Chains A and B, each alone.
Chain A
């Protein structure tokens, strides 16, 4: 019990203290408000930052200065100005309550990692949310480009004198650009194959090689699990396969580790973690071990003579030429097998650009798509 109490966070205890103060605010409002503000400010410096903004004080000045002058019965004067002492008492208490409650809310919400909001939204299971937020992530660089172009046109237009018609035309152009971008991202010309491993292996055996297969799905849709199942089927048929598969392990709450597995030797190494550590390879959520990536790259390079080469997964890092990018670039023109890469669904729209820019040899191969939609248990 004592151990459990100690484990409760600082935020919990500060919040509880302030709540206690709020319950007894009427007994000594000025002292309790000052105490609450001091506690909040000393424990979370940013909690009192809004006090520096003039907007914070507008309502307070309105209540404490303006209202007593014009509302109620003016029964007292100060510096020649009549005001209602009754109204001042009332509004002063309201202001003290307002500041105290504001500090309470600040303590509860300040310094939370705002990225957790995304995780919470995913967990709520809002329909299409995961797909949309991943898609919007891949779209954001283009949307930012449109916003920058608009800003540039606006500045040039303002330099030549403000003109409402020009401003209107700029806004119309922005929307037209956005629609053109929609059409670009909507293009999915890849023929889709069955996700049943047995049927897939049979189909592929009749196709011309080399061949690129994209295994696409949302995060946690089961791509790695499916790749593992496929690899087991390949091995049972004595079909030579090589490459790497990733496995995620939930440690607690939103804390994860990822492991990389050599599918030939079953050797396993930690690839990444959500807890920060010094590394040059990182994304919004994960910090990657550079030596594990190098090991994975070597595993892939050694697998270029196999019939099936599996890479789990390719994404944002490879877009920047990092991650497994160097291994993919090393795949020779003489490769005669099937290259199977796992990819987030939202990045399919970028596939052409991605392959043409970084992997010109692979960009010429025939491509097929497998969609993984089943939610993984995590």
Chain B
């Protein structure tokens, strides 16, 4: 890897790590719901814009490793959940960029996958904690609620919950696409 790429990865990885550490603490203190998705969206924007500006293979994954390490050091103790979440975000974006490329489709694909990932991690965590019956119980709840209230409301709420996650990812991807165009235009004018 060229030195410029290494500097790029270190810088954007550090910036992402600092954002996670500081914003994460603020969101946690405010007890906001979906704080994981908000942080995930911010990370996605940084990852995608950085990848468009320097499309080096492996750079997104390395940025995630640096960001996760910096975030971990900012805690006084080891917290596996955020660490795994950040690394997985890097893995997913890296895969999207390798398979599809840093174009509009690549951005949207990365957005959808990264958007839904916090939900998947949540499901896996809950299944480990509460057992493999967790998902069937939730689906039974949705069915029961729909029958009780009518209009398939249980399924709508479940669908909305999943949809909100997708939306976070897609909005972040659209924002990232727009941002990279504006940033590149500004840099071209400066050069």
Contact = CB atoms under 8 A, between A and B. Distances in A.
Interface in B1-28: 1, 3-4, 6-15, 17-19, 22
Nearest to A174: B15
B183 A140 contact: no
B128 interface: yes
A29 to B, nearest CB: 12
Interface in A59-94: 59, 62-63, 66-67, 70-72, 87, 90-91, 94
Given A94-B134, A117-B78, A171-B179, A139 B10 contact: yes
B7 to A, nearest CB: 5
A172 B179 contact: yes
A176 B186 contact: yes
B4 A143 contact: no
Q: Is the interface of B mostly helix, strand, loop or mixed?
A: helix
Contacts, number: 155
A90 B15 contact: no
B130 A135 contact: no
B183 A175 contact: yes
A152 B130 CA distance: 44
A181 B8 CA distance: 9
Q: Which of A70, A146, A349 has the most CB of B within 10 A?
A: A70
A114 B77 contact: yes
Interface stretch (A34-42, A105-113, A305-313, A325-333): A105-113
Contacts of A109: 77-80
A117 B69 contact: yes
Contact of B15 (A59, A71, A143, A185): A143
Contact of A147 (B19, B79, B183, B187): B19
A77 to B, nearest CB: 15
A97 B131 contact: yes
Contacts of B9: 128, 132
A242 B14 CA distance: 39
B104 interface: no
Contacts of B17: 136
Nearest to A131: B6
Contacts of A118: 69, 72-73
A136 B10 contact: yes
A198 to B, nearest CB: 28
A172 B73 CA distance: 28
13 contacts: A67-B137, A70-B154, A90-B137, A109-B78, A114-B74, A117-B72, A121-B69, A132-B66, A135-B10, A136-B17, A143-B18, A182-B4, A349-B7
Interface of A: 46, 53-55, 59, 62-63, 66-67, 70-72, 87, 90-91, 94-95, 97-98, 101-102, 105, 109-112, 114-118, 121, 126, 128-129, 131-133, 135-136, 139-140, 143-144, 146-147, 168, 171-172, 175-176, 178-179, 181-182, 185-186, 188, 346, 349
Interface of B: 1, 3-4, 6-15, 17-19, 22, 31, 33, 49, 53, 62, 65-66, 69-70, 72-80, 83, 126, 128-131, 133-134, 137, 140-141, 143-145, 148, 154, 178-179, 182-183, 186-187
